[in-house]
């Protein structure tokens, strides 16, 4: 009985219990959530964002592979799911890159890289 109470008291205190799926961690130990707009990402340093972008990029690549596999097999429901994953992770890559160290470099600030400026 005490064990169950302890587990309930501990529930909701760790990474992943804050409303999202943790897909990795930065080298500094911060959890990277699947949802790129997760509030904890506002505490990321530019380097943390770079690391999150790399992980999201790998997941985008994996989702592309999955998408092509389902496209070949003709499984439309799994194809749609894979397409949604590509979109989700692709947006997360852009989000994290925009906030990463790439925008701290003078050459990318000058040309407005990833900011849509011409």
Q: Indicate whether 5 pLDDT > 50.
A: no
With 0-12 / 13-18 / 19 or more C-beta atoms within 10 angstroms meaning exposed / middle / buried, residue 24 is: middle
Q: Is residue 10 part of a domain?
A: no
Q: How many domains, the chain?
A: 1
Q: Is residue 15 part of a domain?
A: no
Nearest to 31 by CA among 71, 64, 62, 41: 41
Chain-wide mean pLDDT for the chain? Answer: 77
Asked if 109 contacts 102 with a C-beta cutoff of 8 angstroms, the reply is no
Structural domain harbouring 88:
24-111
For residue range 7-52, what is the model confidence (pLDDT) as tens digits?
333 444 555 555 689 999 999 999 999 888 889 988 899 999 999 9
Q: What are phi and psi of 97, to 5 degrees?
A: -65, -40
What is the residue-wise DSSP string for 47-76? Answer: HHHHHHHHHHHHHHHHHHHHHHHHHHHT-H
pLDDT given at position 63: 92
Q: Is residue 41 part of a domain?
A: yes
Q: Is residue 35 part of a domain?
A: yes
């Amino acid at each position: 009985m005490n064990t169950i109470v302890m587990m309930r008291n501990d529930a909701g205190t760790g990474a992943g219990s804050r409303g999202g799926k943790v897909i990795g961690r930065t080298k500094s130990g911060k959890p990277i959530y699947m949802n790129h707009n997760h509030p904890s990402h506002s505490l990321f340093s530019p380097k943390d964002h770079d690391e999150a972008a790399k992980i999201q990029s790998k997941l985008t690549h994996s989702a592309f592979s999955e998408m092509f596999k389902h496209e070949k097999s003709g499984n439309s429901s799994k194809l749609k799911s894979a397409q949604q994953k590509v979109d989700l992770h692709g947006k997360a890559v852009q989000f994290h890159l925009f906030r990463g160290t790439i925008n701290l470099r003078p050459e990318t600030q000058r040309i407005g890289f990833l900011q849509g400026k011409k």
